[in-house]
Structure 1
């Protein structure tokens, strides 16, 4: 079992570092959204941040041991979302990592964790921006985790295995972030002829070729990480209350 865990950890490292870093970022850059749209997305995000803070505090109060696992989730999101895969247009795509935390802790805890990650990336890596934090936070921290968690629970309810449910939930959660981002950009920068629809297809097309393999990679990576955590849970070393069933189920 120990040997197998070492192999899986090696797979995680390889998958994380095969994604080349670039100076461009998928997050909506500073100043790219008109001010009124930047404010609208901030207003939309704030209630979720409030709920998320309460959920996070409750999770830690109920089990102080969750602090370490939450820190690991935050680090996972920061690393995988900071690594980019260049797209054919000169932009780039990246994993989000939010599916992992949503499956482990529920979707709302991920809002504040994703927000903190986005703040650090904007300030330290110049990925995204401060005025666009509302839009980026809504796409990555609200829509992605909610869809990933809902899919995981729904697929488990119909009898799909842990591995299959985790893979699909994480992959679709990743894709949903990009669909929402494309919609946010299309609303703010509509095509002069085709309007929102034409702009939406244009922005979505920028990331489509790179985002599909990235979503698959993130799904596989999330399965590997959760399987490792489940193996430790089966030994009584960690608590994962949101996931029923044992290692490899």
Structure 2
């Protein structure tokens, strides 16, 4: 969910805005550098932003009476790294607050922190960890998108629990209530978003293989061969067995008479 306009106390709204600002500034620099150095990536950047905008604009009623939605931030984080996805997510949230009354301006900092910062970083970390252990690409993409979605709602639950602690049980009690409403019911949507992200990535592999290779999502053939060759060379090998020619040379040396032996026989 997006925290609605005016829902957070002013101090909390300001604090989350201050916490999000450095990530957004860093993301703007990363995005500017990416566009300047690789202008051909603008089409894929636009597609990543549109994917996030469409998915996060969907309002799906949950079983607890609230509304949930996918986030769509996992795809952009995997393709362009989390800093750039922070900017795309911030633009998405700003347009939704102004045009769709989805979220708000006073709660923009809190929504950016959960959906455009924590979500992309958490999803990308899981994706990179799985790729490090040679997990297939599509499996890593699924879990990256799944974690990016679910972690957003976990952070939103923390934000609401901090702003509205339970009168009797305090922060932990409120966290249990908000987490049960938002985080637990988000699991089916997170699974659906992971599957949809895999489908989109399959299409990109077919249509934009060169761009994905430049971004590091796909390995070049030489890199793949070098990786497999390094793994093969790392395997322990036993002592080398003598070749047939070496054995023949050794036997010839032992049977050839020396000059001293020839002279003695003469």
TM-score range with shorter-chain normalisation?
0.7 to 0.9
Q: Confirm whether residue 160 of structure 1 aligns to residue 135 of structure 2.
A: yes
Larger-Rg structure: 2
Q: Which has the higher contact order (CA 8 A, sep 6+)?
A: 1
95, 104, 112: which one aligns with 1:120: 95
3-state SS in 1 of match to 2:82: coil
Cα separation, 1, equivalents of 2:89 and 2:214: 20
Task: Report which of the two has the higher share of helix.
Answer: 2
Long gaps (5+) in structure 1: 1-25
What is the aligned length? 220
Deviations 1:161-181 (A, max 9, x none): 001100011101100000000
Which 4+ stretches in 1 moved above 6 angstroms?
Answer: none
Cα drift, residue 193 of structure 1: 0.7
RMSD: 1.4
Alignment map for 1:207-226 (pairs within 5 Å): 207-226=182-201
SS of equivalent residue, structure 2 residue 68: strand
2:41 paired residue number: 66
Q: Alpha-carbon deviations, 1:19-39, whole Å to 9, x = none?
A: xxxxxxx20001110000000
Name whichever of 209-218 and 121-130 sits farther off.
209-218
Distance in 2 between residues matched to 1:27 and 1:151, nearest whole Å? 24
Q: Distance in 1 between matches of 2:56 and 2:41?
A: 22
Deviations 1:90-137 (CA, angstroms, capped at 9, x unpaired): 211110000000000001101111011001111111111100000000
Taking structure 2 as the reference length, what is the TM-score of the superposition? 0.80
* Equivalent runs, 1:50-61 vs 2, <5 Å: 50-61=25-36
Asked if the contact 1:230–1:240 (Cα under 8 Å) also holds between the matched residues in 2, the reply is no
1:244 alignment counterpart:
218
Structure 2: gaps (5+ residues): 221-266
In the alignment, is the contact (CA less than 8 A) between 2:27 and 2:84 conserved in 1? yes
In the TM superposition, 1:1-249 aligns within 5 A as: 26-234=1-209, 236=210, 240-245=214-219
**CA pair 139-116 structure 1, distance change in 2 beyond 3 A:** same
